[in-house]
Structure 1
């Protein structure tokens, strides 16, 4: 039997959605099939996203590249979770009628445009996404207990 499948989306797939993907995978020990994609993916993950996950959770995203929504077309998901308002409008329909959720989370990369603001913004974003994932866990994997 196929497990629960979750897709996280944001515009650039360089910060919010890869953070959510990594945290859900971490929290479920890989027992939930999770991926992320963006409508206009960047060339690489944001360095502050990579650094914050490594420092706070020991999660290594080295080698991970942003991907376009087209790369997951045709796949079946139980949940499609948009993390920004722009991508919410363009996420394609997926077969099987997945449950759609929207978490409007500010882009931490825009905070980084001012001197020294980037890393704290990413720490706040990671904490917010992790809190939302902890609330989602009982729905996705009822046997999971957040630590």
Structure 2
């Protein structure tokens, strides 16, 4: 089974959502991890709330927290969220960028659209890796 790391700057929103949805929707195909280049210390409370409401996933209760790149296990693939910053090299066989805008500070409808896009991309990734 492949290991996939979702990476963004603070590891507080998009990458955490991707990790949670990867575990929820694609655990039979790949293992999901997340990390940040400059972790923010906690998961975005709006992301936590909306993931609970929409998917009944409590990211914090499931042990998710902001992590450094050095906390990642060896991975097969790296997906950056679209942070527009130079990402340090993480050894992997493949990488891609999802180009998602950070919804932090935006209304719920913007957050939900970002979550919907991540869900769609997770399902596409699952099919490609199957």
**Do both share a fold (TM > 0.5)?**
yes
1:82 paired residue among 80, 98, 101:
80
SS in 2 for 1:91: coil
The partner residue of 1:7 within 1, 5, 30 is 5
1:108 aligns with 2:97: no
Offset of 1:30 from its aligned partner?
5.6
Give the number of the structure with larger relative contact order, counting CA–CA contacts within 8 Å between residues 6 or more apart. 2
Aligned residue for 1:108, secondary structure, equals: coil
Question: In the alignment, is the contact (CA less than 8 A) between 1:8 and 1:20 conserved in 2?
Answer: yes
Residue number in structure 2 paired with 1:65: 65
Asked which structure has the greater CA Rg, the reply is 1
List runs of 5+ in structure 1 lacking aligned partners.
112-116, 143-147
Backbone CA RMSD of aligned residues: 1.6
Q: Quick check: 2:30–2:126 contact (8 Å CA) kept in 1?
A: no
Aligned partner of 2:17 among 16, 19, 42: 19
Task: Give the match for residue 36 of structure 1.
Answer: 34
Q: Which runs of structure 1 show a deviation greater than 4 angstroms over 4 or more consecutive aligned residues?
A: none
Runs of at least 5 residues in structure 2 that lack an aligned partner in the other structure: none
DSSP-derived class of the 2:84 partner = helix
Structure 1 length normalisation: TM-score? 0.80
1:139: how far off? 1.7
